[in-house]
Chains A and B, each alone.
Chain A
């Protein structure tokens, strides 16, 4: 019998499992498996309690403000509404390290708020470190994301149902009950799970704004175990616990996101019947004012960096920008290549080999990567390769790989559905013509894939470009990205310079995210 090589996607799946498992084994075995889980118990309890409390509060506040903003924006049309929506989009792709800068710039010791209060003769004290700073930064990043997703869901309510609501004379509460709430409820489990996961795994924000070792997430604790204490065993245990918690969340997310696709409507929505309610007008005005007062200063603080750009145009900046671009491009290539291979394997398992269980496992693999702590993965891989390469070289090689793996779940969501569609539409024709391999990719898949591929590539680049995670382990004079440079400026209280670098990072991240958006909304040609 002729040997049939395994599908590249099956090799990718095997590779992902091997990488994750290998990293954990390398960490646990590094110093004989010590310390035990029992010995880190009290510390673990402390950071778990902090993580859960800050995550719950951050998620709750983000959801409440985000849903309120979405409803107000859905009900109201006003001059500048388009700008508000654009601002929401910008905040959605804002790198966390830039959000940290914004919180310092507005609420920090020499920030706008304290300066304004001082000017009024205020003598009190306010520290941004701990819960206040962390909550502000998380809500600043996540509330606009919630608002955008919920607004999109509300816009998908069929126009016919709005007409029916008008014809029935629905009151504002009936409109909410029968039209808004079902749309919100369909998004809520997945959205709440995702926000919880993001806040629970938060790194840069908690590292910079935590204000002490007791105020750490598991991600920060893993980083400190690796970078400060060189305690690989503790890092491994912490990573396993985070993996267990986040995997449960990721499994929940996987289940929650399985809902029927939204129906199309035949006309844009007509005027909402509740938009003329006087009480709702007041509620919406208050929500929009609170949202603006909270988000606008933070967003504007990033723009103030414009003034200081000439000051930072030096070799450090250019090298950091070039490194960031190189790493982001390599990470995007890795993410898209792996997503294509994995999507191809899922398609083959589901539609050709009729093996839905294997297909479901492959399909779930990218979500596992959402749960794996990148520090544990990096440290494990580093331990495996450290005998062969210098730390800086290892960092340069590992950064695109880890960032690529981190972007894989997002790239996969863009590409896998299109691969399935291509097979459903043309698979039988291709099989009957004997078109396989690269020709199949070129003739059958690529015409449908090229736009989502562009979207996935740009998004993966945007995510990697603004990332301040793994670079915190390897960063230094030899290896510096733009987010790392920003962190260095923040660390040395050069807030103006940090603002200018932050503006660079946001500009490019937004440009890449916008490119991704354009690709994902463009029709196939």
Chain B
């Protein structure tokens, strides 16, 4: 279980305080207006932003004591996930060994993982030779191969067209069912995760304003505000 308890971060022009609980093995979709603090929430969990106070734990382990590389967390961004000078296979391999010195069994794992995300035979291609959707599949493969139990997806598919975006999220859902992971994913529209996400969280003004079953959140007291934030994005 991921537990965030009153984690506070302050900048000259923005203040955030998060409290949130996500059950292990669930897909939690984070929704909210631009600039509301969704990405900051994910960066804090990943360790890129350090809260001044509060508690943050996953599976009972205090994450605040750990450096980003030591946390049981893998992250996929909207852009720039891949190193352009490395092939797709090497980019995935970074998730196992940053030195890229793989054993045979690990090389096989990379091939299998690429196949699992629908990129069989793409291992020797460089990011510049792939489409946006294929690049995000590679990033996803790397997040999954790292065997870290908590995966953060920071609007990973927002630059893709709606059809491709939906199919990518379905791919994420299929993959998580094969291997239990907890996923926290920021999204633009609830339709993207309809029927897939077990939990939905509304973040605005640097706070978690609501969190629960998607239907309850979308039809609850914040429904009009959520609708506004969707039309705004």
| 1/0 contact string of A237-263 vs chain B (CB within 8 Å) | 000000000000000000000000001
A270 lies within 8 A of B85 (CB)? no
Cβ 8 A contact of B81, one of A164, A182, A185, A266: A164
Residues of A within 8 A of B67 (CB): 166, 169
The secondary structure that dominates the B interface is loop
Task: Return the contact of A169 from the options B70, B77, B78, B85 (Cβ within 8 A).
Answer: B70
Tell me which residues across on chain B come within 8 A of A174, comparing CB atoms: 98-99
Can you list, as one digit per residue, whether each of A363-407 has a CB less than 8 Å from chain B (1) or not (0)? 000000000000000000000000000000000000000000000
Chain A, residues 102-136, CB within 8 Å of chain B (1/0): the string is: 00000000000000000000000000000000000
A167 contacts the other chain (Cβ, under 8 Å)? Answer: yes
Contact B75 A182 (CB under 8 A): no
Q: Which residues of A contact B79 (CB under 8 A)?
A: 158, 160, 263, 266
User: B98, A171: Cβ atoms under 8 Å?
Assistant: yes
Q: Is B68 positioned at the interface, with any CB of A under 8 Å from its CB?
A: yes
- Do B48 and A166 have beta carbons less than 8 Å apart? yes
Contact, CB under 8 Å: A168 / B94: yes
Cross-chain contact A158 with B48 (CB below 8 angstroms): no
Minimum CB–CB distance for B67 against chain A, Å: 7
Least Cβ distance of B1 to chain A in Å? Answer: 21
Compute how far the CA of A20 lies from the CA of B70 in the bound complex, rounded to whole angstroms: 64
- The reply to whether the CB of B27 lies closer than 8 angstroms to some CB of chain A is no
Alpha-carbon distance A160/B98, docked complex (angstroms) = 16
How far is the CB of B79 from the nearest CB of chain A, in Å?
A: 6
Complex CA gap A19/B120 in Å reads 58
Q: Does B116 contact A (CB under 8 A)?
A: no
Interface presence of A489 (CB below 8 A): no
Q: How far is the CB of A176 from chain B (nearest CB, A)?
A: 12
Most chain B beta-carbon contacts within 10 A, residue among A167, A182, A263? A167
Given contacts A182-B84, A270-B48, contact A167 B77 (CB under 8 A): no
Chain A nearest CB from B88 CB (Å) reads 15
Select one of A170, A171, A178, A265 contacting B86, CB under 8 A: A178
Asked whether any CB of chain B lies closer than 8 Å to the CB of A155, the reply is no
Answer yes or no: A281 CB below 8 A from chain B CBs.
no
**For the complex, what is the distance from the CA of A167 to the CA of B94, rounded to whole Å?**
11
Q: Check if A167 sits within 8 Å of B80, measured CB to CB.
A: no
| CB of B51 closer than 8 Å to a CB of A | no
How close is A184's CB to chain B, nearest CB, in angstroms? 11
Q: Within the assembled complex, what's the spacing in Å between the Cα atoms of A179 and B86?
A: 11
The CA of A170 and the CA of B94, in the complex, are separated in Å by 10
Contacts of B46 in A (CB 8 A): 163, 167
Residues on A with C-beta less than 8 A from B86 are: 178
Chain B residues, CB < 8 A from A436: none
- Measured CB to CB, the nearest residue on chain B to A162 is B48
Would A160 and B81 count as touching, CB distance under 8 A?
yes
Assess whether B69 is interfacial by the CB under 8 Å rule.
yes
A161 within 8 A of B: yes
**A 134-183 contacts with B by CB, 8 A:** 158-161, 163-164, 166-171, 174, 178-179, 182
Chain A residues contacting B77 (CB-CB under 8 Å) are 160, 163-164
Instruction: Mark A180-211 against chain B: 1 for CB-CB distance below 8 A, else 0.
Output: 00100100000000000000000000000000
Partner of A182, one of B48, B70, B73, B85: B85
Residues A335-374 near B (CB distance < 8 A): none
Indicate with 1 or 0, residue by residue over B47-83, a CB within 8 angstroms of chain A CB atoms. 1100000000000000000011111011101111101
Q: Interface residues of A: mostly helix, strand, loop or mixed?
A: helix
Residues of A within 8 Å of B83, CB to CB, are: 161, 178-179, 182
Complex: A182 Cα to B43 Cα, angstroms? 25
The answer on a CB contact under 8 Å between A167 and B99 is: no
Report the Cα distance A168→B94, complex, angstroms. Answer: 8
Bound Cα distance from A225 to B94, whole angstroms: 61
Give the chain B neighbours of A169 by CB distance below 8 A: 67-70, 98
Nearest residue, chain B, Cβ from A167: B68
B68 and A166 form a contact (CB under 8 A)? yes
B80 adjacent to A263 (CB under 8 Å): yes
Most buried by B among A158, A160, A171, A266: A160
Q: In the bound complex, what is the Cα–Cα distance between A239 and B95 (angstroms)?
A: 56
**Least CB distance, A460 to chain B, in whole angstroms:** 35
- Chain A residues within an 8 Å CB radius of B78: 266
A178 to B70, CA, bound (A): 20
Contacts of A6-63 to chain B: CB distance below 8 A? none
Specify the chain B residue showing the minimal Cβ separation from A178.
B83
**Interchain CA distance A160-B77 in the complex, whole Å:** 7
Q: Could you tell me the distance between the alpha carbons of A167 and B69 in the complex, rounded to whole angstroms?
A: 4
- Chain A residues, CB < 8 A from B70: 169
- Give the docked Cα–Cα distance between A340 and B68 (Å): 51
Q: Which of A167, A185, A263 lies in contact with B75, CB distance below 8 A? A: A167
- Complex CA–CA separation, A297 to B75 (angstroms): 48
A265 to B79, CA, bound (A): 8
A265 to B74, CA, bound (A): 20
Report Cα–Cα, A235/B90, bound state, in Å: 55
Measured between beta carbons, the chain B residues less than 8 angstroms from A178 are 83, 85-86, 94
> In whole Å, how far is B39's beta carbon from the nearest beta carbon of chain A?
8
A160 CA to B83 CA, complexed, in Å: 10
Q: How far is the CA of A170 from the CA of B67 in the complex (A)?
A: 12
Q: How many Å lie between the Cα of A425 and that of B208 in the bound state?
A: 42
**Nearest-Cβ distance from residue A265 to partner chain B, whole angstroms:** 7
Query: A163: nearest residue on chain B (CB-CB)?
Result: B48
With A166-B47, A166-B48 in contact, do A161 and B80 touch (Cβ < 8 Å)? yes
Known: A167-B75, A169-B69, A169-B70. A265 touches B80 (CB 8 A): yes
Partner of B80, one of A158, A170, A171, A185: A158
CB A154 to nearest CB in B, in angstroms, measures: 15
Enumerate chain B residues within 8 angstroms of A179, measured Cβ to Cβ: 83
Complex interface: chain A residues within 8 A of B48 (CB): 163, 166, 270
Residues of A within 8 A of B94 (CB): 164, 168, 178
CB-based nearest A residue for B95: A168
User: Which residues in A have their C-beta under 8 angstroms from that of B69?
Assistant: 166-169
Which of chain A's residues has its CB closest to B48's CB? A163
Chain A residues whose CB sits within 8 angstroms of the CB of B98 once the complex forms: 168-171, 174
Chain A residue at minimal CB-CB distance from B98: A168
Residues of A within 8 Å of B73, CB to CB, are 167
Interface centre among B69, B70, B78, B81 (most CB of A within 10 A): B69
Please report the C-alpha to C-alpha distance between residue A174 and residue B47 in the assembled complex, in whole angstroms: 20
Q: List 23 A-B contacts (CB under 8 A).
A: A158-B80, A160-B79, A161-B83, A163-B48, A163-B68, A163-B77, A164-B75, A164-B77, A164-B94, A166-B48, A166-B69, A167-B46, A167-B47, A167-B69, A167-B71, A168-B69, A169-B67, A169-B69, A170-B98, A171-B98, A263-B80, A266-B79, A270-B48
Q: A159-B80, A163-B43, A266-B79 are in contact. List 11 more A-B contacts (CB 8 A).
A: A163-B46, A164-B75, A166-B48, A167-B46, A167-B75, A168-B98, A171-B98, A171-B99, A178-B86, A178-B94, A270-B48
The 5 closest A-B pairs by CB, nearest first: A169-B69, A158-B80, A160-B80, A160-B77, A182-B85
